[in-house]
Chains A and B, each alone.
Chain A
């Protein structure tokens, strides 16, 4: 059942809440943070327009009313599948906006008096909640597809739903356990209604359940008992005097006679004899007179419920029914309405000319309410502009859609044209996308890790990954130079054991850097290499152990860290080569770096999205969870920015693909050509 429902404003104040069980406020906080602010989830219809978000065994479905700035959130357990939630959300949105919309539109309102809302909400839930997740047979056909959830990790659980309300349509209370299995299966894959044998009573019990939904044998997901139930049902249409039942009895007999010969079915699961099931003929399957009675009972109960309300309750519900029906009907037919409005343009030369003039006038003066048609052409131009700046088409589409949802049905300000309104909105969207949640201060982090108390002090490990030829070794030496200038001791690890000349290249860099640092008297840099052909992961692990120097080999100060920072270079690899990419996982687990930076060059085009995604998903820890809060890597270094001029769209593509922020920009081929990202500068270049 529903665990809780909250109505909150976009500024975070909870206007109304109803908790059926205690819910921590952390759930909705993380929903707001992950979905609305950081946009980690793809926005989109989801099932019937109410997208869902899962955290901690709870599922949250929400809808938002942009004009009054409200968000409606429904919370329930992930194990359940409540299909009436979308209609509840739509109805609540419509009714609440109607009731309190005016109050909320006045500025500076922090609170609305929601005393009348409680009974309305209760009535709404009673009306829309169908009592259980099981459906009556007549509603199965119309809502069949929405009833089924994709196989989630909780499928295969027998206790999926609460046992169904003992509606009389479910017969055979004698075998309740099997009923549950059958019921439970309907939420896993491929449920099909088995044709009801409408003739005489079937030979074996268990046929009575045949008109209910049962699952086909899904591979491995259905449990043993349910598969057993299936085999019974599958043999349903056989007429009496069948061999299967005889065979079954035989098998059962054979089993008890011999020492428990194990029988196996096609899926490789052991079949256990269920003698109870075979022998129990107690309940009948035919729709006898008593069943008709029970159906009448059901109908009776319903009508009496509709009629027997107290005075105030009745009044509320009657109104509610009409309003709710109207809201639900209107929400389910948005497309026809939008299609209908396109035909209202005038015809004739004069009419079109005058309409064009007035629209031009309105465009200049402002105060125009923006419709989809208005936004279409300017957004198209904006998308072309972004594409010309080397932004991947996927990212450009997403940004344009965000701007469209933001601006739809808004009024333009005075004396601003549509184009400038779109530019403003796009600048805001780009700024929001490129601004990191927390900016990286590398020096701070290195200092805090290396100066941990005594035994906790350890070197800071940074590793660089990327495809071939993007500038990993060059940027790694730039970072080494930066750290050296700040008096750290750096160990450069030649983790590229594949490419010819990779170790020599790093040796030259280290020689230059140590000459530079000796001249200025800062820091110390050395190279750790194990030649060619070795496994990069073991080289990295050995290097970290060497830098930590925990062993007792050093005669004097054993346990003293030899180096503050360990920089690990890796071999370049194509992101679509799965063998090479999978070796990265092992590398990540053995080396256990504090920071993983991926280098992408600014010259790359649409490939950047695929590169970023493939690299990010390789970095999982031993439990299978992506490191760094589920994103995989810690930052992007965009190299060769001096060669592209204004077309820095790769920044946007890579951030869009993964949500990982850009931390450094490489702007040249000397040691000092490393910059941090200034979001204003980047957005400026993109919008120029």
Chain B
């Protein structure tokens, strides 16, 4: 007891040692708390890029190509898959926009998350859920099979999926709750399988899809009402909100999506071609780098 009393008396006494101890204690305690809290904090989320597209387009193949450097053989996906990879050293990221070419300072390339989703009709909810959930989604790679687009059925299936995705992005933009709006998500249309003989070149893929999207939005607007029409009370009955692009325009162009912050670019490539140049993976990488 007396020891305790003595010790307490000492701490409250104006001796130099007591003052020094108090000073050190009060200065280091916040620093310790700070380091403890920030060590336990969640690591900064990596930018995510979503891979989606109709079944058989080559999304899983592209995922393995981007993350491993060589494509692995793949089959139809049943579940989504994520991969973490780093931009190759030859790609410029957006952070390097203002760096000079001769800048020799060492810099580490940023890493990204790639999220591959199944393309089968019954499993598209994975992709839709990833689009609407609040992750750090920086871009969308919509992979299409250029060879299948020359047939009417393949073109229709691709266009319908692309229509759903673009409409979702448009609604996300127009129906944002805050005035600032959510961050815009650019879309890269990857025209895969350019090495196949019957494949269409990238420019033709773009124009065919635009034409088909115009037809799809026409029929969707005239189609039957949904059975779930009373469910959401956000004014779903508004015709304009369900119309992709410019309301009342004759044909659809990807440029019309720019109003909603959705920039669509088209790139042609092939995952199974040999050599960097023929595969043209670096175009993908440069787009990813620009949008990181």
Do chains A and B interact in one complex? yes
Please report A residues at the B interface, Cβ cutoff 8 Å: 6, 8-14, 17, 25, 28-29, 32-33, 36-38, 69, 107-108, 110-111, 431-432, 435-439, 441-444, 447-448, 482, 485-486, 641, 664-665, 667, 674-678, 680-682, 684
B72 within 8 A of A: yes
Q: Name the distance in Å between B116's Cβ and chain A's nearest Cβ.
A: 7
Contact in complex: B156, A11 (CB < 8 Å):
no
Known: A667-B227, A678-B231. A11 touches B121 (CB 8 A): no
Q: Kindly report which residue of chain B lies nearest to residue A27, judged by CB atoms.
A: B75
Q: Which secondary structure dominates chain B's binding surface?
A: mixed
B120 interfacial contact with A, CB 8 Å: yes
B226 at interface, CB cutoff 8 A: yes
B263 at the interface (CB under 8 A from A): no
Report whether B72 and A111 are in contact in the complex, using a CB–CB cutoff of 8 Å. yes
Tell whether B224 is near chain A: CB-to-CB under 8 Å: yes
Known contacts: A438-B157, A448-B152, A680-B231. The answer to whether A25 contacts B225 by CB under 8 A is no
CB B203 to nearest CB in A, in angstroms, measures: 24
* Minimum Cβ distance to chain A for residue B184 (Å): 27
Contact of A110 with B67 in the complex, beta carbons under 8 Å: yes
Compute how far the CA of A267 lies from the CA of B200 in the bound complex, rounded to whole angstroms: 62
**B79 interfacial contact with A, CB 8 Å:** yes
Given contacts A8-B74, A11-B79, 10 further A-B pairs with CB under 8 A are: A10-B78, A29-B56, A29-B75, A435-B122, A438-B157, A441-B219, A443-B222, A444-B215, A674-B224, A675-B224
Residue of A nearest to B222 (CB): A486
The answer on a CB contact under 8 Å between B116 and A11 is: yes
Q: Name B's A-contacting residues (CB within 8 A).
A: 55-56, 60, 63-64, 67-68, 72-84, 116, 118, 120-125, 152, 156-157, 160, 215-216, 219-220, 222-229, 231
Residues A676 and B223 in contact in the complex (CB < 8 Å), given A111-B72, A441-B160, A448-B152? yes
**Complex interface: chain A residues within 8 A of B215 (CB):** 444, 447
Query: Is A28 touching B75 in the complex (CB atoms < 8 A)?
Result: yes
Across-interface contacts of B75 in A (CB, < 8 A):
6, 8, 12, 14, 25, 28-29, 32
CB contacts (< 8 Å) of B56 on chain A: these are 29
Q: Bound complex: CA of A443 vs CA of B121, how far in Å?
A: 20
A-B contact count (CB 8 A): 136
Give the complex CA separation of A108 and B83 in angstroms.
5
Which of A10, A11, A29, A107 has the most CB atoms of chain B within a 10 A radius of its CB? Answer: A11
Q: 10 closest A-B pairs (Cβ-Cβ)?
A: A681-B228, A678-B228, A11-B81, A12-B77, A437-B121, A675-B227, A443-B219, A10-B79, A32-B76, A14-B73
Contact A432/B122 with A441-B223, A678-B231 known, Cβ cut-off 8 Å: yes
Residues on B with C-beta less than 8 A from A110 are 63-64, 67-68, 72, 81, 83
Which A residues lie within 8 Å of B219 (CB)?
441, 443-444, 447
In the assembled complex, the CB of A150 is this many whole angstroms from the nearest CB of chain B, namely 29
* Whole-angstrom CA separation of A78 from B157 in the bound complex: 34
Contacts of A444 in B (CB 8 A): 156, 215-216, 219
Residue in B closest to A676 when the chains form the complex, CB atoms = B224
From A439, A443, A676, contact of B227 by CB (8 A): A676
**A8→B82 CA distance, assembly (Å):** 16
Chain B residue at minimum C-beta to C-beta distance from A431: B125
Which residues in B have their C-beta under 8 angstroms from that of A108? 82-84
Whether the pair A436, B121 counts as a contact (CB closer than 8 A) is yes
**What is the CA–CA distance of A667 and B60 in the complex, to the nearest angstrom?**
42
Listed A/B pairs (9) with beta-carbon separation below 8 Å: A11-B77, A11-B118, A13-B64, A25-B73, A37-B78, A438-B157, A447-B215, A675-B225, A676-B223
Are the C-beta atoms of A12 and B227 separated by less than 8 Å?
no
Closest A residue by C-beta to B73: A14
Contact B224 A678, beta carbon cutoff 8 Å: no
Whether the pair B120, A33 counts as a contact (CB closer than 8 A) is yes
Q: Is the CB of B76 within 8 A of A33?
A: yes
Give chain B residues whose Cβ lies under 8 Å from the Cβ of A482. Answer: 224
Beta-carbon nearest neighbor of B70 in chain A: A111
Give A483 Cβ to nearest chain B Cβ, in Å.
Answer: 11
Alpha-carbon gap, A486 to B157, bound state (A): 22
Chain B residue, CB-CB nearest to A680 = B228
Residue pair B72, A681 in contact (C-beta under 8 Å):
no
Look across to chain B and name the residue whose beta carbon is closest to the beta carbon of A39.
Answer: B122
A28 to B226, CA, bound (A): 36
CA of A678 to CA of B123, assembled, Å:
16
- Contacting pair B122 A437 (CB below 8 A): yes
Interfacial chain A residues near B229, Cβ < 8 Å = 675, 678
CA distance A212 to B229 in the complex (A): 70
The answer on a CB contact under 8 Å between A665 and B78 is no
Q: How far is the CA of A324 from the CA of B78 in the complex (A)?
A: 29
Query: How many Å lie between the Cα of A32 and that of B220 in the bound state?
Result: 31
The closest CB in chain B to the CB of A672 belongs to: B225
- Output the nearest chain B residue to A8 by Cβ-Cβ distance: B75
Q: How far, in angstroms, from A9 to B216 measured CA to CA in the complex?
A: 35
**In the complex, chain B residues whose CB is within 8 Å of the CB of A675:** 224-227, 229
Q: A residues within 8 A CB of B228?
A: 678, 680-681, 684
Taken together as a complex, chains A and B put the C-alpha atoms of A431 and B124 apart, in Å, by 11
Q: Complex: how many Å from CA A681 to CA B232?
A: 10
Contacts of A441 in B (CB 8 A): 156, 160, 216, 219-220, 223
